[in-house]
Amino acid sequence: MPFFAYQDGSGPWTAVTGANGVYDFNISGTQGAVAYVSTSGSPVETHVNLFYLPVAELASAPYPAGTLTVSGTYEGLGVSDVFSGALGPFSEFNGANDGWLCGNVASGTQDLLGLRSTGGLADQLIIHRNVTITAPASPGAIALGKDGDFDFSPTGGGNAIAMTPSTFLLTPGGNEAGISNIALTEHFATAGAASGVLLSSTFAPSLPLVLLPSVNLQAGDQYQLGTNGSTGGPSSQYLVTTAYTANPTSLSLALPPAMTLPTTTPVASTTCPYPLLRTQFTIGQPYNKLLVAYTQGDLDWNLAIQSAYGTDVTFPDLHALAGWNPAWGLNSGTPISASASAFGQTWTTGAPPEGARQYQATGNFTVNP
């Protein structure tokens, strides 16, 4: 990361120089804040990320997964079949022309999933568990060889796990009044590939769940069952409920309520060369965390704050800290597109336990700095 800084409680911001991707700092109290800059895409997009969270959550915040690019191959797909996959905690990918490429990968041991879908329904899954990703000596994609190959053909060695729809159904469970485009989804994830792969989805009133044979499951594997929809209108919000389980049965999931969008206003500063945005919000159950993405061209500032930290926060002035680039500041006079998401979950930190629920509401607005 080109820039990293932290705040201990309400103290001053301090820049930190990392070593081999590790940034060490101390928080003396129960709350702190972190700011870091990351990049992605081509042309390059810059992301200034701000986390205002309790210490326990700062340690598990979604920092960049990595900077490595990994490649592999697949075979045994029919003309209408589709390949998709997942690697590690954050990276999902698709394939083309019998090859796949996945970016933002961290070094270390993680799981690699490859899925074949026929007619929009997942029918075979290959799991490569505990794949070791090692940074190369020179830049370039890491070819995984046999660990990155997915052979779905009848002679592929028997690694493909066959899946069929079960008799268990996922259905909406309430709060659908005024909601349009209600969808039902099913993902499968392992402890080492937590982003998972989409097994099936539908806009129909029910979704037959696709299950793996129990002999192919290990501790930490989970199904992620979801329902989502939109409130409609000029202030439309996207609502999501997700349930986590290792042992799916028929389930009805209710959508969460809509959120109250935050109020964002520019704050005048005589010292900071870029506009500082003040975000004020009200958040209630089942939500306890707010994420707002402020986008201006190829630059965005992402704010994550837990309600226990406060409901009124102003961007910090980071321009005087070592490593800060003036190009990372927002520009006055140029409209900013904003997307706010409220999140809530029934567990505190770490992986979701059996039966856990997660809730999300997302809406958009514009800010004129």
For CATH 2.60.40.10, the residue range(s) in the chain are: 3-64+261-349+360-367
Tell me the CATH number for domain 68-162.
2.60.40
State yes or no: pLDDT of 64 exceeds 70: no
Quick check: 208 pLDDT over 70?
Answer: yes
The average pLDDT across 309-337 equals 93
Kindly state the average pLDDT of the residues 80-89.
Answer: 89
Tell me the backbone φ, ψ of residue 56, rounded to 5 degrees.
-60, -35
Q: Count of alpha carbons within 13 Å of 212, Cβ hemisphere only? A: 24
> Taking Cα atoms as reference points, which of 203, 197, 214, 158 lies closest to residue 180?
203
Mean pLDDT of 213-219: 93
Angstrom distance (rounded) from CA 37 to CA 355: 35
Residue 94 has pLDDT above 70, yes or no: yes
Structure tokens at 89: 């905690």
CATH number of 3-64+261-349+360-367: 2.60.40.10
**3-state DSSP assignment of residue 124:** strand
Lookup: tokens for 24: 């060490």
pLDDT of 46 higher than 70:
yes
pLDDT band at 362 (very low <50, low <70, confident <90, very high): very high
- What would the pLDDT profile of 111-170 be if each residue is shown by its tens digit? 999 999 987 789 999 999 999 998 887 777 788 888 889 999 887 777 899 988 899 999
CA 251/CA 272 separation, integer angstroms: 52
User: What's the chain's Rg over C-alpha atoms?
Assistant: 22
Residue 61: per-residue pLDDT:
67
**Structure pTM?**
0.89
